């Protein structure tokens, strides 16, 4: 019972923090609240027995990603402008999607059900045999590194790729990136030339294409 109460309290805190993040305009406060949100999520994962996940979420969500976001705020400014368009359409879309998803949860197995399909397929094998096959007490490490080694190799490659991509985007000095920075101006020149060049090729298609671009 006490576990259920902790569960409900943490989830309610998470909901409240998420709504505060949505409503606040000061991005500094938003980033700080998202760190708190991650810490609450980590506590929630401990309550759900996922200690490894909680460990990672606390280190990553409350630590590294908060530092990264604050560093970016120092580069971009920390006030959000009021949204220019009405929130009615997004609200309708979100409400409909949420209602459909909640309707779908009634088909889900009950919370904590040991006989749910997800707990019957490979998990018993991992829990019963991994001590004999791999010999590590921490089943999460056995599955991560041994049974699902391919999967983890892929994830590590994704991290490597993301680091390379960030290097490509931010590696050079500000200003010496001719191709990237001058692109809008080059585009405008190209756009100006287009009507003169293209009618010979495709007189019917081009104006509509350009109009579509202008209005979008």
Partner 1 sequence: MRHHRVLRVVSKLLIPFIMLFALYVQFHGDFGPGGGFQAGVIMASAFILYGLIFGLENARKVAPPSVVTKLVAAGVLIYAGTGYAGLLKGANFLDYNVLGATPVGGQHLGILIIEFGVGTTVAAAMVTIFFLFAGRER
Partner 2 sequence: MLQVILDHYNYWVAVVLMMIGLYTVVARGNLIKKIVGLNIFQTSVFLLYITMGKVTGGTAPILDERFTVYSNPLPHVLILTAIVVGVATTALGLALVVRIRESYGTIEEDELDLLDGET
46: number of Cβ within 10 Å: 16
Length of the chain measured in residues: 216
Handedness of CA 122, 124, 126, 128 (dihedral sign): negative
Can you tell me the distance from the alpha carbon of 58 to that of 36, in angstroms, rounded to the nearest whole number? 10
Q: How far is the CB of 179 from partner 1 (least distance, A)?
A: 18
**Among residues 2, 137, 150, 201, the one that binds partner 2 under rule CB under 8 A:** 137
Interface residue with partner 2 among 127, 133, 203, 209 (CB under 8 A) is 127
Q: Which one, of 26, 25, 20, 24, lies nearest residue 40 by Cα? A: 20
Q: Which is nearer to partner 1, 19 or 67 (CB)?
A: 67
Residue number with CB closer to partner 1 (106 or 180) = 180
**Is 129 near partner 1 (CB under 8 A)?**
no
**210 counts as binding partner 2 under rule CB under 8 A:** no
113 binds partner 1 (CB under 8 A): no
How many C-beta atoms surround the C-beta of residue 143 within 10 A? 20
Considering only 5, 173, 174, 201, the residue that binds partner 2 (CB under 8 A) is 174
């Amino acid at each position: 019972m006490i576990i259920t109460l902790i569960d409900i309290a943490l989830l309610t805190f998470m909901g409240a923090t998420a709504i505060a993040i949505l409503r606040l305009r000061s991005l500094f406060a938003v980033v700080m609240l998202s760190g708190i949100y991650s810490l609450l999520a980590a506590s929630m994962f401990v309550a759900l027995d996922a200690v490894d996940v909680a460990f990672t979420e606390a280190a990553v969500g409350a630590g590294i990603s908060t530092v990264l976001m604050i560093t970016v705020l120092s580069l971009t400014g920390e006030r959000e402008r009021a949204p220019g368009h009405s929130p009615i359409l997004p609200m309708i879309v979100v409400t409909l999607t949420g209602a459909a998803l909640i309707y779908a949860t009634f088909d889900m197995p009950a919370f904590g059900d040991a006989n749910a399909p997800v707990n019957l397929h490979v998990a018993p094998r991992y829990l019963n045999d991994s001590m004999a096959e791999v010999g590590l007490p921490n089943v999460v490490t056995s599955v991560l590194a041994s049974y699902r080694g391919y999967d983890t190799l892929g994830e590590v490659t994704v991290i490597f790729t993301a680091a390379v991509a960030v290097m490509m985007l931010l590696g050079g000095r500000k200003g010496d990136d001719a191709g990237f920075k001058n692109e809008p101006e080059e585009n405008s020149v190209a756009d100006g030339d287009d009507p003169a060049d293209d009618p010979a090729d495709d007189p019917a298609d081009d104006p509509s294409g350009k109009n579509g671009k202008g209005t979008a």
